[in-house]
Amino acid sequence: MRRAGKRRFAMGVRLPELLAPAGSLQALAAAVAAGADAVYTGAGAFNARAAATDLSLDELRIAAGLCHGRGARLYVTLNIFVRDDELDEAVALAADVLEAGADALIVADLGLIAELRRRLGDVEIHLSTQAGVHASDGALLATRELSVSRVTCGRELSVDEIAAMAVTGVEIEAFCHGAICVCYAGACSFSSLRRGRSANRGDCTQPCRLHYGLADGAGRRVDAREGDLLLCPRDYLSIRHIPQLVDAGVGALKIEGRMKNPDYVFNVVGCYRAALDAVRDGLPVEVDALEAQLARSFNRGFTTDYLDGSAGAGLMSWERSCNQGLRAGVVVERRYEEVVVELERSVEAGDTLEIRYIPGEEAAPDVPKRWPMVPCPVTAAAGARIAVHCKRKVSCGSVVHVVRSAGVLARTDAAVATVLDGVQDAAPPAPAARAEGMGPSCRSGSAARAGARPCADAGRTPARAVLVETPERAAALLEAGGAEILVPAFAVAETGCGAWGSLLGRLTVLLDEVSRVGDEAFQRSLCATAGAVACRNLTQVAYARDAGAAFEIASPIPVTNVASLHACADLGARRVWLPSDMAVDRVAGLARAAAGRVLVGVVSSGLPELMVTEHCLLTAEGACSGSCGGCARRRSERFLVERDGTCLPVRVDVRGRTRIYDAEPLDRSGDVAMLATAGVSCFLEADEGACAW
C-alpha cells in the first residue's frame, strides 16, 4: 500500500517530490530538516554503494519514524544485479525493511522484481536508473510488465526528453543534482573487467576519475586539453531548470549523494527546497544566489549540458576530480607568510579557503601549481579585503575558493541535533511478527514458475555466431554458411541501411545500448527489417514487440540470476546473451537452470566493451566540428591510454557516442565444451576488426 507523503502544489500543479540521499541517520535528519519530501537510503549488501555505511534495521525504524512524523516518505535501495545464491537473502532483506517502515524499494534487477512480486505481493517498487530506461516506450513497458510504480530515467536526458517520458502518465524520477558517471548507468563494465570490482554490484573503483592520455594509432598523444581526467564529468546541476522540470510533469527530483556528509545533504536539499517553493508561490527562482550556495558544498564544478541537450566539453572536468568549491575572491597583495584577499563573495570565520596559484609564462617549467588550503580568520562581506595566513608562495592574481563552509556545517549540526534530540535512545522495538504475505516463504523458494513454456530449441547442438561490421563480411559468411551473423546497429548506421540491402533480413542486429528519442526511428526500422534483433534495454523490447520481430536480449539488460532469465522469457525473448564479465561457473549454472525455458548464448571471443558514454571522447583533442559523420578524428584509430601504458581501443559512432573496449580480448575457447554441456546454445566470436560487447 502506497503511503502518501507531502503534497505541494504550484498554481494547482503538483510539485515534484524532492528526494534526498542519506547514508546515515545524521544525513537523513539533515534531509528532513532541510525540507525533503522523501529520503532514500541503503540497508544491507544489495545496493549500488558498497562503501556506504548503511542503516541497520533498528536505525531504519528510527528513520521511518522521523520521515513519517514529518510527512516524508522513506525508500530503500536494492539496486544491484543479484546472483542466484543471493536472491533469497535479498527478498528477506526487502521484507525486513518494509516491516521497519520503508515505503518503497528501488530495484534494477528484473529477476529480483519478479521475486519480490511473487513472494511479497503488492509492494511498491521504483525502477532504478541502473535498469537503463531512457524513453517513453520503455517506461510504459516497465509499468505494465514489471508493475513498477515509478521509473528513474538517466542523467543524460534533456528537459524535453524527460517531459516526453512524463507525459505518458508514468511517474518519472529525474536526477537534479550531484555526481555523474560518464558511462550510461548499468552499462559499465570498466571497473569489473579492468579492476575486478563491478559497478553493477555496487563496488565501482571509479575509473572515470583517473588520469589518461588519448593516443592515435602510432602511439602519439593527441589530447590537447589542460588536464588529463578525460573521463571525469562535472557535477549535475538543475537549479536553473527547476521551473521547466516542474512544467514537464516530473514526479520526483532526486539528489545524488548517499556517500556524502550531512552538511552536503542539508545544504543541497535546502537550496532545491527554496527553488521549488518559489515556483509554488509564483516567485522567481533566485538562481544565481542558489547556485553560489550549492557551490559551498562539495562539487567538481557544475554542468547543465545534459539538460540542455548537449554532451560536449562543458560536461567535463578535465583538470580536477576533487572539490572545486565556490570562487570567493582573488589575492591582491603578498606579505610575509600571509596574503591579502579581495572578496567577491562573503566568507565566514572558520571557512576553509583554497588559494589557486598557477605559474605564469615567465615561470620556470618545473615550477608546480600550488593549491594551499588555509583557514579563513574572519567573517566578511563581498568587497572587503582580508589578511589570510599562508606560508606557501602564491602570486597576486591567484583565485581563492571556499572549499569548506563553516556556516553550513554549523547550521547542519544544529538542525540535525534538533531532529535527533531524544530519538536515538528510543528506537521502536522490532515487530513481533511479519505482516501478512511476508512469512517464511519470503526467505526461500525457487524462481521457477509453474506452467513455464518450454523453449522450442532446447537440446539442439550449440550454434556458432559471428559479429561483423561490414556488409561484405556478412555476405561472405552467409554464403559460407555454418554460422549465425550478428551486426551492431552502429555499424549499420555508419554505412546506411541501403548498403546492407536485403542482407538485413538474414541477420540479427545488435541494437545499441541506449534508446532515446533521437534513436527511436532508426531502431524501429531495424526491428521491422532485420531477421531478428538483440535488445539491450526495455525500450527496444517494446519496439521489437510492436514490430512483431523475433528478438533476443543482451547486456546491459541485467541477467544475473534464473529469475531474470525467466523474466526475459516472459517478455518474449528467444535467447538471452549473458554478460561478458560473468564468471564461467556462473554462466554454466544459469545455462543449466535455463534448460527448456529460454536459450542462453555467450560471447566466446572478442574485445569486450568497457563503457558507452554520450560524451565524445575526441573533444579532448580540441573543439568539436559538430559534424560526426564527416569527423576525420572519428575515422582514425584512437586509444585511451592508462598510466601504465595500456591502450584501450576507442570507437566513436556516427551519433557521437563513445565506446571504450578492453585491451585484451575475451577468450573462452577452453570453456566451450563445458559450457555447451551445461546448456549454452550459442557461442559468439567477434570477426577480425570487430569488437564484442
CB within 8 Å of 388: residues ≥ 6 apart: 338, 339, 340, 341, 353, 355, 374, 376, 377, 400
Could you tell me how far CA 454 lies from the centroid of its own chain?
35
Amino acid identity of 304?
A: T
What distance in Å separates the CA atoms of residue 382 and residue 326, rounded to the nearest whole number? 13
Domain positions in the chain are 16-180+234-290, 326-404, 463-686
Q: How far is CA 271 from the centre of its chain?
A: 23
Contacts of 63 (CB under 8 A, 6+ apart): 22, 25, 28, 39, 41, 55, 74, 101
| Ramachandran sector of residue 679 (left: φ over 0; alpha: ψ -120 to 50; beta: rest) | left
Which pLDDT score is estimated for 446?
A: 45
Please report which helix (H) or strand (E) contains residue 590, including its range.
Answer: helix 584-594
Residue with cell 531524544: 422
Q: How confident is the model at residue 9, as a pLDDT?
A: 59
Strand, helix or coil at 486?
strand
Q: Percent of the chain at pLDDT above 70?
A: 90
Residue 57: count other Cβ atoms within 10 Å of its Cβ.
16
**What is the end-to-end Cα distance of the chain in Å, rounded?**
40
Dihedral, CA atoms, 224, 226, 227, 233, nearest 10 degrees? -90
C-alpha 68/C-alpha 62 separation (Å) is 10
pLDDT of residue 451: 35
* Grid cell for residue 692: 564484442
DSSP secondary-structure letter at 226? S
Q: How far apart are CA 497 and CA 505, in angstroms?
A: 11
Choices 3.10.20.600, 3.40.470.10, 3.20.20.60, 3.40.50.720: CATH for 16-180+234-290: 3.20.20.60
Q: Is-cis flag, bond preceding 558, omega within 30?
A: no
Residues lower than pLDDT 50 in the chain: 1, 426-441, 443, 446-458
What architecture is the 463-686 domain classified under in CATH? Answer: Alpha-Beta Barrel (3.20)
Check if the beta carbon of residue 119 is closer than 8 Å to that of residue 435: no
CB 511 within 8 A of CB 551: no
Give domain 326-404's CATH number out of 3.40.630.180, 1.20.140.10, 2.40.30.10, 1.10.1060.10. Answer: 2.40.30.10
Helix locations, 283-424, DSSP H: 287-294, 406-420
DSSP secondary structure string for all residues of 597-655 = T-EEEEEEEE--EEEEESS-GGGGGS---S-STT-TTTTS-EEEE-TT--EEEEEE-TT
Q: How far apart are CA 110 and CA 126, in angstroms?
A: 12
Q: Find out whether 657 and 613 touch, Cβ atoms under 8 Å.
A: yes
| Cell numbers representing residue 12 in the block | 494547482
Find residue 565's DSSP bridge partners. Answer: none
The percent of the chain in helix, strand and coil, each rounded to the nearest 5, is: 35, 20, 45
The b-or-e profile of 265-298 (16+ CB within 10 A means b, else e) is bbbbbbbbbbbbbbbbeeeebebeebebbbbbbb
> What are 588-624's pLDDT values in tens digits?
999 999 888 899 999 999 999 999 999 999 999 998 8
Q: For residue 608, which of 652, 565, 553, 664 has the smallest C-alpha distance?
A: 664
**Grid coordinates of 261:** 556528509
463-686 has the same fold as 16-180+234-290: yes
Q: Look at residue 670 in the predicted model and tell me its pLDDT.
A: 95
Beta pairing partners, 216: 638
- How far CA 465 is from CA of 260, 468, 474, 518, 552, in Å, comes to 46, 10, 11, 30, 13
Q: Are strands 252-255 and 172-178 parallel, antiparallel or unpaired?
A: parallel
Q: Helix or strand or coil: residue 7?
A: coil
CA distances from 231 to 226, 317, 612 (A): 13, 8, 11
